[in-house]
Chains A and B, each alone.
Chain A
Amino acid sequence: MLTADEVAKVVSEVTGRIIERMSARAQRAGDLGAGADAPSLAELINETLWWELDRLKKADSDDEEARADKAFYASIRRELPRVSEAEQARLLERVVHRYANEIAGNFNPTFYKVATRVAPPMLSALLTGLSPRRLMGGQAIPSLDKHVIVEGDIANLARLREHGTLVVTPTHSSNLDSLILGFAIYHLGLPPLTYGAGLNLFRNPIIGKSMYNLGAYTVDRRKRDPLYKQTLKEYATVSLEFGQDNLFFPGGTRSRSGGVEDQLKKGLLGCSLAAYRNKLVHRRDRPKCFVVPCTISYPLVLEASTLIEDWLAEAGKSRYIIVDDEFSRWERWLDFLRGLFSLDLKIHLRFGKALDPFGNVVDGEGVSYDPKGRPIDPRGYLEVDGEVVADPVRDAEYTRALEGRIVDEFFRENLVHPTTVLAFACFELLYRNRRPRDLYRFLGSIGPEQSLAMPEVEDELDALLAELAELARADRLRLSPEVAAGDTRELIRAALRSFGTYHSRPVVQRKGVRLHIGDANLMFYYRNRLDGYGLRGAASLVHASNRGGLRG
């Protein structure tokens, strides 16, 4: 983890780079005269003022930070018309520096050292539903490894670190993800990851206080200013260049639909390529960056209800920031953890194949391979006449390829629990019979009186399990042990137990010889984890298209 000194260096490096880039761009535009598309420095500052003042207008006037921001921008606005061009650069520097500082947060390395030692048992306690008081009372701490199963290409991770910097890119279902990953990384004996966490997490009553100390930096999603987003990307890039391993959630936000992410944030992903390129240009040691996709698969998801409601409300145009969800309520955590613990449910964290920033597979020594397994030197992708050069359009294209490969790994390493399988089967039966034109109305029409005959569900499950087994054999999907066992009745029992434990209404419930749908939205949510595979001939409902089939 970076020391406080290094963090300060990162902040000043980030500021310096952005000012340099903006000044150069403004200079070039000035030389070209009218018709150039790059803004002048004054225009840039005005743009920031516009975005920030617009945001602050909506902010709570009692909020201390908002007041400080207002005062800061008021002073910038006062000074702007009076200063020379050189001084405009100074003003812009103040803005960027302020952004960068806020992103870095008040990181304290002393706290951090304590946190790394104490946090995992604390997490363990949290995740197993023990109160800290009992923990202090000398009780044995139940081991988290019983509930979080870490699998996949683990052996390579430690070796890869010797050859470059890691960017771990997980699927994102729950705010628990970063805690679970932090735990896994600690247990694997790897140094901690830094990651950008939404400001709302820092204000979370349960874990907010420990966020900085867990290595997080801040992402304020309310700030829409493009300059802020640039600062954020530069912060991630520079921290990678300093050799700090990063955690990116490439989906950008928790999956609202419950489906595996197939559209990733390319701006953030591109940081791995930018860091590699910058280190090559400056001839630094260990220039390589390795992107490690991973999946976190839950039998039940803490925030499932809020997330799927948001998806249905906005049809994918997510609100992006959800402040008051299950994640900020103690009783929901406890219910969730109690359910997890008492039913002995497992959360699976799977590491996929490590990739270079171009999407090529790398081995444990950090060597990249072409699609047919021949070793290659990826530096060539950035060369013109033997020199490494910057080319944003080219690099965006490489990042698109990386995105595609991460999504492949997401789908391949996605692990399916009985809950998902049962939800998929029930949904499929209802959906297929009715062939609805409107998904929303269809979901709204399914009440608790809606039921399916047990034999019908069993037949559907038999067929579904056969297809799942085939996908798993083809290395295109992972099955939990309960699903892999292939015992339909046992699977139904396991799924019903889980569905009955945490959610306020059982998602699916057995009454006599029929299964009743208690919560159609949640059935849809859990079903979506299998969307996009073309299972049972189903069309894709939450992804752009099916990834299975002939052309997948």
Chain B
Amino acid sequence: MAEHTTATTRVSVLGAGNWGTTVAHLIGQNGIPVTLWGRNEESCAEINEQRRNSRYLKGLELSEHITATTELAKAVEEAELLFLVIPSQAFRSVCADLGDLVRPNQLAVHATKGLELGTGRRMTEIIRAETCLRQIGVLSGPNIAREMCAGKPAGTVVASRFPRVIEVSREVLKSHQLRVYGNTDVVGVELGGTLKNIIAIAAGMATQMELGENAKSLLITRGLSEIARLGVALGADPMTFSGLAGIGDLMVTCASPLSRNHRVGAALARGMSLKEAVDSLGMVAEGVKAAKIAEQLTGELGLRAPLMHAVYRVLYDGLTPAEGLRELMTGAVQEDIDPSLTRAAATKKR
């Protein structure tokens, strides 16, 4: 079925980490040949020869339609559609290399949940600044790589201002286990996927501290409100945060002890330092950086974000999770539904 309609689309996934390998695997399972680019020669050889990526996805047998390579040019040259799955802090340097290789007729979708440290730039902004690519978008949603690899059902969002980017991405990704939804609010989808990581760290702490389900729910809803407030101030459509890339992603990250940010939060609540917590994970936890960027942005924009602020102080100011909790519970109480969001929902046009 999928094989028939997408036989001609040539796809490459750039980034052979946990999520990049998963995206390639999902596409490969649809019978579509996919090139996977990674920096590590051994990993690539392992993928090609043994159909495994033992560093990130232990025990999973990868699709035979994946061809791994360490040559960026080879991965980019033939591709009509590129998926960029690169950690946010390495994103610009890969895009700078990509700039020499891409052409205006190529489509690109990134699946990186983060903002650039220092500039606060979104990943699509970086693609625009470093390359000639215009037909671009973002893939985001409640997608735990392990569950997806295990063939469990899930939904995801591709956001782009270009309908064709959504169509072509959907064609290669959709399957009996994955529903692919479209959205035109690129800013909202990017921010939803990024900012929820901060809340997930708090959720990890709450779980470790055994605060209970009421507290978890309080955390998620107030967290979403902060995400939406900051998102709207940066140009997002408030409705996006009630979708898969907003509340959907936030719920899964806060509920699942498997998520990296959750694990960082739990480690902190066990009394580890930030460095120890990150080291014990062995992977990038985007929320750690996102907290720093959100702290800067909310400061500049003069927005209230007590939850994100508390996470920031636990991460960088030596506040203990228990002290952070106490501050949050004694802080001033505002309206349940922020009036600024109601207004934005009523006036948002595009």
Q: Give the interface of A toward B (CB within 8 A).
A: 358, 360, 370-372, 374, 376-381, 383-385, 391, 393-394, 397-398, 400-401, 549-551
Contacts and interface: CB of A to CB of B under 8 A. Distances in A.
A383 B104 CA distance: 9
Nearest to B96: A372
**Nearest 4 A-B pairs (CB), nearest first?**
A380-B104, A380-B105, A370-B132, A383-B105
Nearest to B134: A381
A378 B162 contact: no
A381 B120 contact: no
Nearest to B132: A370
Contacts of B132: 360, 370-371, 374, 376
Contacts of B135: 381, 394
A372 B104 contact: no
Interface of B: 8, 96, 99-100, 103-106, 120, 128-132, 134-135, 161-164, 300
Instruction: Please report whether the interface of chain B is mostly helix, strand, loop or mixed according to DSSP.
Output: loop
Given A374-B100, A380-B105, A383-B105, A391 B164 contact: yes
Given A358-B134, A371-B130, A381-B134, A393 B104 contact: no
A379 B134 CA distance: 12
Most buried by A among B8, B99, B129, B132: B132
22 contacts: A370-B132, A374-B100, A376-B104, A379-B104, A380-B103, A381-B104, A381-B105, A381-B134, A381-B135, A383-B105, A384-B164, A391-B164, A393-B162, A393-B163, A394-B135, A394-B163, A394-B164, A397-B134, A400-B161, A401-B134, A550-B120, A551-B300
B162 A377 contact: no
A374 B99 contact: yes
Nearest to A378: B104
Given A358-B134, A391-B164, A371 B104 contact: no
Contacts of A398: 134
A424 B106 CA distance: 47
Contacts of B164: 384, 391, 394
Nearest to B104: A380
A104 B96 CA distance: 48
Contact of B130 (A372, A376, A381, A551): A372
B134 A550 contact: no
Contacts of B130: 371-372
Nearest to A392: B163
Nearest to A369: B132
A390 to B, nearest CB: 12
Contacts of A385: 8
A378 B105 CA distance: 9
B19 to A, nearest CB: 27
A399 to B, nearest CB: 11
Most-contacted residue by chain A among B8, B104, B131, B300 (CB, 10 A): B104
B103 A372 contact: no
Contact of B162 (A358, A360, A397): A397
Contacts of A378: 104
A398 B163 CA distance: 13
B103 A371 contact: no
B233 to A, nearest CB: 10
A537 to B, nearest CB: 13
Nearest to A359: B134
B73 to A, nearest CB: 15
A378 B134 CA distance: 11
A384 B81 CA distance: 12
Nearest to A358: B134
B159 to A, nearest CB: 13
Nearest to A372: B99
A289 to B, nearest CB: 16
Contacts of A383: 104-105
A397 B129 CA distance: 17
Given A370-B131, A371-B131, 20 more contacts: A358-B134, A372-B96, A372-B130, A376-B132, A377-B103, A377-B104, A380-B103, A380-B104, A380-B105, A380-B106, A381-B105, A381-B134, A381-B135, A384-B164, A385-B8, A391-B164, A397-B134, A398-B134, A401-B134, A550-B300
A400 B350 CA distance: 12
B128 A371 contact: yes
| A370, A374, A393 interface centre (most CB from chain B within 10 Å) | A370
A374 B129 CA distance: 12
A296 B134 CA distance: 31
Contact of A551 (B99, B120, B134): B120
Contacts of A370: 99, 131-132
Contacts of B105: 380-381, 383-384
Nearest to A551: B120
Nearest to B130: A372
Nearest to A391: B164
A370 to B, nearest CB: 4
A309 B204 CA distance: 58
Contacts of A549: 300
Contacts of A377: 103-104
Contacts of B300: 549-551
A397 B100 CA distance: 24
A264 to B, nearest CB: 15
A398 to B, nearest CB: 7
A174 to B, nearest CB: 31
Contacts of B8: 385
A538 to B, nearest CB: 16
A427 B226 CA distance: 36
Nearest to B121: A551
A377 B106 CA distance: 12
A297 B159 CA distance: 41
B104 A394 contact: no
A381 B102 CA distance: 12
Nearest to B106: A380
Contacts of B104: 376-381, 383
Given A380-B104, A381-B104, A371 B163 contact: no
